[in-house]
Amino acid sequence: MAVLSGSTSNGAIVLSGTNSFTDDNILPTGSRVTYVSYGSQRTISSTASSPAATSASNATATGTASTTSSPRGTTQAVTLLAGSVGLITQSIINGTVTLGANTTAASTSASASSTTSTVLNTQPCNNYPELCERKYSNVTEVCAHNSPFVKAGNAASNQNLPVLNQLNDGIRMLQGQTHFENNTLFYCHTSCSLLNAGTMEAYLATVASWVRTHPYDVVTILIGNADFIGVGNYTAPIQASGLGPYLYEPPYIPMKLNDWPTLSEMILTQKRVVLFMDYNADQTTVPYILDEFSQLWETPFSPTNVSFPCNTQRPPGLNRNQSLERMYMANHNLNAEINFLGASLLLPNTAQINQTNAVSGFGSLGLMANTCTTDWNRPPNFLLVDFYDVGNGSVFEVAAQHNNVTYNRPCCGVATSAAPSPFTTPSLLAASMAALAALAALL
């Protein structure tokens, strides 16, 4: 892999380096790339510590209240929808969740169509009351592609705003590439010399702090294991980050589409963080790091085709019936491919980002989501995008349309850095191409 460094000078992006170059945006291939396939579904038992002692699938209060532990620092009383069976009156006072008496929690068999939800409560789940009774697998959310990579003027950046802004604005899936350097996991793009967003532990600690103070939100994290290291290397930083008590452990391996709990069930048990890893997950060893591709398929990786086809690419060889049994993610991050001396690099196509993130029109996120819905008879579960804030909430409007809810939230947060945005400096793509030309001379 190349030894690269990146810097900016007078609005220009400078890359320098030596040796050969390997881009993480290229579809992974080779002997290290394996996809788990299960001949049959396995039933497993949970062993993780939990801040919730009462299961939403069987909790029944008939005269006395049930209590569960919850993040401290909040005081509120709400009526929370818990499926079609009944309502749970829930209070959170000084970190204790209390389920009101004479109420019955919904069973895990209760589910709702994304087009027939009846709003019976006022407390939003993932920003909308209508989503509370829906299964996790029956909700469309926006995913921040390479969420940690926020560095103005850096060709390897994929977002303008940091993770707290992302979550506050409505992002509910966070994806990022990790690299193992000096026995430490970092979020780095292609090379830690090119863009190093810090340690995985620090990033996840920030996410955990947000999760603790937002008890009615379910967040998904997708880890890119860029160096194909063993799953055991991930447990220490994950647990040290404070996410551990919130990590969801599924009852089955793999989880089929209809096996997932409702958002309200996950909220009531406080198992509100679903953690996937693309390669080398082993749920029998680490049950809270879920294997991505046995439960979630993806459309073409790092697309350069503005038509954004909605066919399955990963895992390879998946037939239609198998695809219909699992969730899926629509990759809608348009890239521009640049080649020098046989080396290929994919960079975010910022020249077309407004249309890429738009609600309608050729090449738009809205059109791709509609195409996917037609092709697969249901919307994508996750819409992966670059620079989610471009379009002033258009990506969230697309998700809302496919959730059959109305998007009326303000968007988007203001970057905290005083550094110039890639959309206010000279064209990021043009500057990157010039920098790569200089890099090619070094190879």
Catalytic residues: 145, 189
Alpha-carbon distance 443 to 235, whole Å?
38
The upper half-sphere exposure of residue 437, i.e. CA atoms within 13 Å in the direction of its Cβ, equals: 6
**Radius of gyration for the chain, computed over Cα atoms and rounded to the nearest angstrom:** 22
Alpha-carbon distance 272 to 35, whole Å?
26
CA neighbor of 60 nearest in space, from 107, 8, 23, 122: 107
Residue given tokens 């929808």 in the structure block: 81
Neighbours of 344 (CB within 10 A): 13
User: Which residues on neighbouring strands pair with residue 247, listed in sequence order?
Assistant: 273
| DSSP H or E stretch at residue 236 | helix 232-241
Tell me if 387 sits within 8 A of 161, measured CB to CB.
no
Measured in degrees and rounded to the nearest 5, phi and psi for residue 173 equal: -135, 130
Alpha-carbon distance 122 to 130, whole Å?
9
Q: How far does CA 7 lie from the centroid of its chain?
A: 28
Neighbours of 287 (CB within 10 A): 18
Tell me if 155 sits within 8 A of 425, measured CB to CB.
no
Alpha-carbon distance 207 to 436, whole Å?
34
Tell me the Ramachandran region of residue 27: left when phi exceeds 0, alpha when psi lies from -120 to 50, beta otherwise. beta
Tell me if 344 sits within 8 A of 313, measured CB to CB.
no
Tell me if 241 sits within 8 A of 207, measured CB to CB.
yes
Polymer length in residues for the chain = 443
